């Protein structure tokens, strides 16, 4: 099934945006892993809407109710299941447009795939609301990884052509990532972050939306994690990242820029550092070679499209009548999904890393 990711660990996400609840089942987690619930909730709160014009006004507590796989503060080794209630849906916002194919949404394709029986309210199972259980799973995986020294962090690299500073692909540390997580608006350069927020607010006031890019880094990942060809570390990360609605592209290391470089420029030369470890002088490969981690920080960038729900008039089709119509969307929508997607990207990377780490001989 499309909503089950089944590698080293299995992650199954269920529910619809306006149903009674959404949730996740995580199978094959190691037993006896302590979970700090306060830390887990802090991670999930980073995905929650902000009380300003940069995000939706839908308010959900996103309090996970753990149903199984957790006892006396630790994982039991059996499937970890969590429900997250939908406390604040406004389903009436969608009644008048339920048969209209909203531009940029999966209304038309979803209706075709499921013969019109899909739940259209708030996007149903296609909604960004489903990133809440993804974040729960990623927060669990993150705690297990961090206990082994592996930290993943992300920031807003770009909003509508306004660019933040970049991670240092060699020297970024655990401490840098922890400090970044404390920010309400996750950027490295706060002055550029203010410009981004103003641009998002301007889009909101114009009834429009903007997209952007998220940069992510994982540090202290040991060399030798992953596999070649179809089960590579990049493959797993990319598959999970594309489970986040609005994602349109991903690149690792220097990504598409390598096509503009000479081999002598792109190749990362190896040497033995003071600790006796084999490392590279640069990190154009983004910490992964042949689908396997090199021991250098894993770096990637994720492109997010502008939120398709905008309040400007758009042309569309009534799927029940096959007539052309004009649509003006009302309701509560993010003028930019990028800030709230930052922890979602971290979560996806955490899940992929943990899945491959289970095969590591010293896990």
- 3-state SS, one letter per residue, for 74-142: EECCCCEEEEEECCCCCHHHHCCCCCECCCCCCHHHHHHHCCCCCCCHHHHHHCHHHHHHHHHHHHHHH
- Rounded to an integer, the average pLDDT of 126-137 is 92
Q: How many domains would you assign to the chain? A: 1
The answer as to whether 363 is a domain residue is no
d(CA 13, CA 37): 20
Query: What pTM was computed for the model?
Result: 0.93
Q: Which domain holds residue 42?
A: 4-357
The answer as to whether 240 is a domain residue is yes
- Is the confidence at residue 172, as pLDDT, over 60? yes
Predicted local confidence at residue 93, as pLDDT: 60
- Is the confidence at residue 102, as pLDDT, over 80? yes
What is the Cα gyration radius of the chain?
21
pLDDT band for position 329 (50/70/90)?
confident
d(CA 78, CA 8): 14
Quote the distance between the C-alpha of residue 302 and its chain's center.
9
Token duo for residue 120 = 């259209």
Predicted local confidence at residue 55, as pLDDT: 57
Predicted local confidence at residue 278, as pLDDT: 96
pLDDT band for position 90 (50/70/90)?
low
The answer as to whether 362 is a domain residue is no
> Among candidates 151, 154, 201, which has minimal Cα distance to 180?
154
Predicted local confidence at residue 109, as pLDDT: 87
Residue 54: partners with Cβ closer than 8 Å, 6 or more residues away: 185, 197, 200, 201, 204, 334, 335, 336, 339
Beta-strand relationship, 10-15 and 4-6: antiparallel
Predicted local confidence at residue 362, as pLDDT: 78
pLDDT band for position 108 (50/70/90)?
confident
Between the CA atoms of 125, 131, 134 and 139, what dihedral angle is there, to the nearest 10 degrees? -160
The answer as to whether 61 is a domain residue is yes
d(CA 126, CA 19): 13
pLDDT band for position 59 (50/70/90)?
low
What whole-number percentage of the chain has pLDDT above 90?
72
* DSSP E strands, the chain: 4-6, 10-15, 21-27, 65-68, 70-71, 74-75, 80-85, 151-159, 162-163, 212-219, 247-252, 270-272, 278-280, 288-289, 292-293, 298-304, 314-318, 323-327
Choice among 15-29, 271-285, 321-335 with the minimum mean pLDDT: 321-335
Token duo for residue 178 = 């922890």
Question: Which one has a higher pLDDT value, 1 or 286?
Answer: 286
- Rounded to an integer, the average pLDDT of 351-360 is 95
> Among candidates 332, 342, 350, 337, which has minimal Cα distance to 245?
337
- Rounded to an integer, the average pLDDT of 66-76 is 97
Token duo for residue 102 = 């909203």
Choice among 128-132, 141-145, 331-335 with the minimum mean pLDDT: 331-335
- Is the confidence at residue 286, as pLDDT, over 80? yes
Each residue of 175-185: pLDDT tens digit? 999 999 999 99
- Cross-strand pairs, 100: 318
Each residue of 309-328: pLDDT tens digit? 888 888 988 888 899 988 88
The answer as to whether 133 is a domain residue is yes
Please report, for the domain that includes residue 37, its CATH number: 3.60.150.10
- Cross-strand pairs, 294: none
d(CA 268, CA 270): 7
What whole-number percentage of the chain has pLDDT above 70?
94
- Is the confidence at residue 54, as pLDDT, over 70? no
Each residue of 189-248: pLDDT tens digit? 999 999 999 999 999 999 999 999 999 999 999 999 999 999 999 999 999 999 999 999
pLDDT band for position 95 (50/70/90)?
low
- Rounded to an integer, the average pLDDT of 124-150 is 94
- Rounded to an integer, the average pLDDT of 100-123 is 84
């Amino acid at each position: 099934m499309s909503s089950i990711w089944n590698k080293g660990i299995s992650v199954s996400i269920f529910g619809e945006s306006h149903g009674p609840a959404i949730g996740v089942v995580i199978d094959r987690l190691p037993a006896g892993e302590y979970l700090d619930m306060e830390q887990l909730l802090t991670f999930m709160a980073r995905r929650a809407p902000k009380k300003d014009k940069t995000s939706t006004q839908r308010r959900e507590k996103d309090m996970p109710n753990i149903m199984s796989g957790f006892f006396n503060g630790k994982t039991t080794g059996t499937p970890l299941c969590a429900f997250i209630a939908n406390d604040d849906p406004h389903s009436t916002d969608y009644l008048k447009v339920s048969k209209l194919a909203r531009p940029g949404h999966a209304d038309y394709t979803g209706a075709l795939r499921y013969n019109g029986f899909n739940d259209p309210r708030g996007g149903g199972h296609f909604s960004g609301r489903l990133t809440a259980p993804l974040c729960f799973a990623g927060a669990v995986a993150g705690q297990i990884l961090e206990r082994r020294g592996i930290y993943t962090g992300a920031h807003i690299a770009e909003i509508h052509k306004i660019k933040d500073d970049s991670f240092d692909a060699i020297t970024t540390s655990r401490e840098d990532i922890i400090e970044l997580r404390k920010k309400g608006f996750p950027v490295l350069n706060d002055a550029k972050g203010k410009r981004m927020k103003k641009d998002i607010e301007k889009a909101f006031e114009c009834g429009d939306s903007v997209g952007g890019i998220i940069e992510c880094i994982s540090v202290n990942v040991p060399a030798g994690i992953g596999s070649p060809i179809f089960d590579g570390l990049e493959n797993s990360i990319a598959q999970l990242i594309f489970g986040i609605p609005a994602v349109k592209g991903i690149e690792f290391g220097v990504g598409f820029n390598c096509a503009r470089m000479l081999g002598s420029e792109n190749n990362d030369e190896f040497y033995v550092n003071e600790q006796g470890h084999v490392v590279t002088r640069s990190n154009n490969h983004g910490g992964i070679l042949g689908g396997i981690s090199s021991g250098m920080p894993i770096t990637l960038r994720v492109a997010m499209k502008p939120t398709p729900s905008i309040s400007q008039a758009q042309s569309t089709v009534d799927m029940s009548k096959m007539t052309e119509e004009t649509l003006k969307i009302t309701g509560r929508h993010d003028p930019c999904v990028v800030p709230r997607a930052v922890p979602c990207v971290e979560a996806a990377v955490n899940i992929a890393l943990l899945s491959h780490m289970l095969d590591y001989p010293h896990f």
